[in-house]
Amino acid sequence: MILKDRIAIVTGAGRGIGREHALELARQGAKVVVNDFGVSLAGEKQDSPADEVVAEIVAMGGEAVANGADVADFEQAAAMVQQAIDTFGGLDILVNNAGFVRDRMLVNTSEEEWDAVIRVHLKGHFAPLRHAGAYWRAEAKEGRQRAARVINTSSGAGLQGSIGQATYSAAKAGIAGLTLVAAAELGRYGATVNAIAPVARTRMTVDAFPDMMAGAGGDGDAFDAMDPANNSPIVAWLASADAADVTGRVIEIEGGRVCLEEGWRHGPHEDAGQRWAAGDVGSAIRALVGRAAEPERVYGT
């Protein structure tokens, strides 16, 4: 019960990884706002399963309420944060998980597909985070600083890139960058901000990576490395008061393996001491490439 009486919002919590997050946070004692807008993988509106997740939480003796907000709608995101405050008396934890995919090779991607994926993933992280952050700032100014926690959802696609997922990769890379800035800005209000890069068998991944997803798990008591529930204990700990010393980090989770990602860092450099002449740049850059670590390969190459 590491989250006893803490109040959480989990977005995209009707299915898959988000559902498992909501259930695990409830098992650990949190009161949960279960958000799910109810869309297909292509982003088409359908019935939300949020009420079913709420019923599961209540059946296990927990407290939860459903929310159907479009998290990328600025006003609906504000109302979702307010629902947590009005229903449970505050907000301590925000787990940004909602998203969908429209995978295409870059030259086949339409403007509508680009806008939709960037909106749901990147703006859908920004809007709830912005309103939750404003609440925590107000609480801190009133002398009621909370042990606030944000867990965003990036992806290996955003960290290393993925063939056929240019839009998704760009959105998830943006989430990693947003995490760094939010951690630096919100720390003064008692908030930590981290991100996970989960690996799991969900409706988003089973079609994109059928071979990898089909090979997961086994019979009987064999450990299923692709079970989406594998990600949720890490999220629960990051959401706890105990995690106050960990912020601005991206953690990849694959089965029982957790990996602390090391993102963009200053590497080898060459200072000309003056403006570079264009003809001198090539040899200098090639020398730096020779001294630098090899980048990880893009998924699918």
110 lies in a domain?
A: yes
Taking only the tens of pLDDT, the chain with its 301 residues reads 999 999 999 999 999 999 999 999 999 999 999 999 986 555 566 678 999 999 999 999 999 999 999 999 999 999 999 999 999 999 999 999 999 989 999 999 999 999 999 999 999 999 999 999 999 999 999 999 999 999 999 999 999 999 999 999 999 999 999 999 999 999 999 999 999 999 988 655 555 545 555 544 445 568 999 999 999 999 999 999 999 999 999 999 999 999 999 999 999 999 999 999 999 999 999 999 999 999 999 999 9
The share of the chain scoring above pLDDT 70, in percent, equals 91
**Residues near 86 by Cβ (< 8 Å), separated by ≥ 6?**
none
Please report, for the domain that includes residue 179, its CATH number. Answer: 3.40.50.720
204 lies in a domain?
A: yes
Residues 13-47: pLDDT tens digits? Answer: 999 999 999 999 999 999 999 999 986 555 566 67
155 is known as an active-site residue: yes
Q: What is the SS3 assignment for 77? A: helix
- CA atoms in the 13 A half-sphere facing the CB of 116: 15
As for how many domains the chain has, the answer is 1
Q: What is the SS3 assignment for 131? A: helix
267 lies in a domain?
A: no
168 is known as an active-site residue: yes
**Residues near 278 by Cβ (< 8 Å), separated by ≥ 6?**
none
Question: Which residue among 154, 155, 169, 232 is the active-site one?
Answer: 155
Task: Answer yes or no: pTM beyond 0.75.
Answer: yes
Segments forming the whole domain that contains residue 242: 7-260
- Number of Cβ within 10 Å of residue 237's Cβ equals 16
141 is known as an active-site residue: no
Residues 213-225: pLDDT tens digits? Answer: 554 444 556 899 9
Question: Which residue among 172, 189, 240, 299 is the active-site one?
Answer: 172
Question: Which residue among 168, 189, 240, 299 is the active-site one?
Answer: 168
Residues 68 and 36 sit within 8 Å (Cβ to Cβ): yes
State the DSSP code for 274: S
